[in-house]
Structure 1
């Protein structure tokens, strides 16, 4: 298959991701609008009926539309259902930002990413409570659309910005912070900070609303894949703290569980401390 056909294939799959994300959001919102019962998973992380309903809706649609692509999905993994991945697979976090969901601040997302040879080549991040959807496709760019009453509006292109002269805007997790994060940011000319939950942090950088996001804490591949795809399609970049790329499909890690990420930093068009600026 030549490069053109590969990209056409990815564009078609991206349309499926958008449809699946809308289905996930439609499953979440009735639960969000009612009483929220919180349970604890075996890994001690919280889970709600919305996580499970959204994942079921997403997996059903992906199985119908793209049956040959394996899916690594957060709630399925927690139940021990982990298919072999191969070169191409989906990573699904049906409700990223469960703490934000429980707090009812709207900053939770549906994340679906397509991985090809260890890299995120397409991804959708949908925040159903605030009506924002972000889509990133390798070599096709990043875009955003509003969603009202479950209906997708017109897409507009987005891209990382040139940071203003007064300094960078750092985006931080609303639920997680650490001394390592503060130490990292101390090396940058930070003029402002924006708090955000879930994978919206990647999307704010991709949309030119922020410049840098260090994550010196635990994440899993399904937390980051979709936002990573949006950010890189918008001209940004993610590296580990040593400058190496963040890769996907990390099985049998000697010092961590399958699919766990090391610390990383997401950038827009800020000056990268590691290597060149592209």
Structure 2
């Protein structure tokens, strides 16, 4: 099923790129939490929902663009977790650092994940304990890699205002940093280019599910700051606690 989900992500990416390349209007609006949403978010959502409902009609879908209510999902054991366009701010800035995120959650664990960055043509995917990167028609299995000093990947949109992150990095010892948008931060750790992604600011479960799947399949750890694995068992709030993605 992984290849079918990769193809679905590609199709959603094509819908996004039609807006990105100016073939369709951008139509930026804002949700109740002031986060932006564009015509590309909605177009990708429609593609993914149609595809998943066709592929797995018995598996419910939780998408950022149409989140099911608590009553509907409180007993879900297995479900799709989708962010049709992760990194909308990066999309609007036109820097290419946005992704399509699709994850399959089983008993709170992301067991399959696809992260597709259509503007740069890179696909990360994971299932059955293995992770891959596909670029330019070439696919290779990826895994974490140690490096000294470690490279720490941080959020492009939030790092400058995150005082907890600044304090954490100041106490960390020798390291390098790089900033990138969307769930690509998980993927940099997964492919061995970075060793740590610390997150203190707010995220929702659809921001992290697919990247989480790729990271753990490549050998990384995804823990909250109490040392517990991030859990996707249905709960009323969509918010994650702070967390770290690490090879250590």
Q: Could you say whether these structures have the same fold, taking a TM-score greater than 0.5 normalized by the shorter chain as the test?
A: yes
Partner of 1:107: 97
Q: Tell me, yes or no, if the aligned pair for 2:110 and 2:212 is still in contact at 8 Å.
A: yes
Partner of 2:158: 176
Are 1:154 and 2:142 matched, yes or no? no
Are 1:251 and 2:235 matched, yes or no? yes
Instruction: Tell me how many residue pairs correspond in the alignment.
Output: 243
Offset, 1:83: 4.1
Partner of 1:5: none
Offset, 1:249: 2.8
Q: Cα deviations across residues 125-160 of structure 1 (Å, max 9, x unaligned)? A: 000000100001132x1110015xxxxx23201110
Are 1:70 and 2:70 matched, yes or no? no
Q: Tell me, yes or no, if the aligned pair for 1:239 and 1:266 is still in contact at 8 Å.
A: yes
Calculate the aligned-residue CA RMSD, in Å. Answer: 1.6
Structure 1 pair 60–190 and aligned structure 2 pair: CA distance change class (3 A)? farther
Q: Return the match for 2:19 from 6, 19, 31.
A: 31
Structure 1 pair 30–240 and aligned structure 2 pair: CA distance change class (3 A)? same
Q: Tell me, yes or no, if the aligned pair for 2:156 and 2:179 is still in contact at 8 Å.
A: yes
Q: Tell me, yes or no, if the aligned pair for 1:132 and 1:146 is still in contact at 8 Å.
A: yes
Q: TM-score, normalised by structure 2?
A: 0.93
The 5-angstrom pairing of residues 226-241 of structure 1 reads: 226-241=210-225
Partner of 1:4: none
Q: Return the match for 1:261 from 232, 240, 245.
A: 240
Q: TM-score, normalised by structure 1?
A: 0.83
Q: Tell me, yes or no, if the aligned pair for 2:100 and 2:116 is still in contact at 8 Å.
A: yes
Q: Tell me, yes or no, if the aligned pair for 1:250 and 1:260 is still in contact at 8 Å.
A: no
CA distance in 2, matches of 1:61, 1:123: 15
The 5-angstrom pairing of residues 93-242 of structure 1 reads: 93-139=83-129, 141-146=130-135, 153-164=137-148, 167-177=149-159, 178-242=162-226
Q: Runs of 5+ in structure 1 lacking a partner?
A: 1-11, 148-152, 253-257, 271-278
Q: Tell me, yes or no, if the aligned pair for 1:76 and 1:82 is still in contact at 8 Å.
A: no
Q: Tell me, yes or no, if the aligned pair for 1:71 and 1:83 is still in contact at 8 Å.
A: no
Offset, 1:19: 1.7
Q: Tell me, yes or no, if the aligned pair for 2:76 and 2:234 is still in contact at 8 Å.
A: no
Q: Cα deviations across residues 232-274 of structure 1 (Å, max 9, x unaligned)? A: 000001111111111003413xxxxx22101111112x3xxxx
Q: Runs of 5+ in structure 2 lacking a partner?
A: none
Secondary structure, in 3 states, of the residue corresponding to 2:175? strand
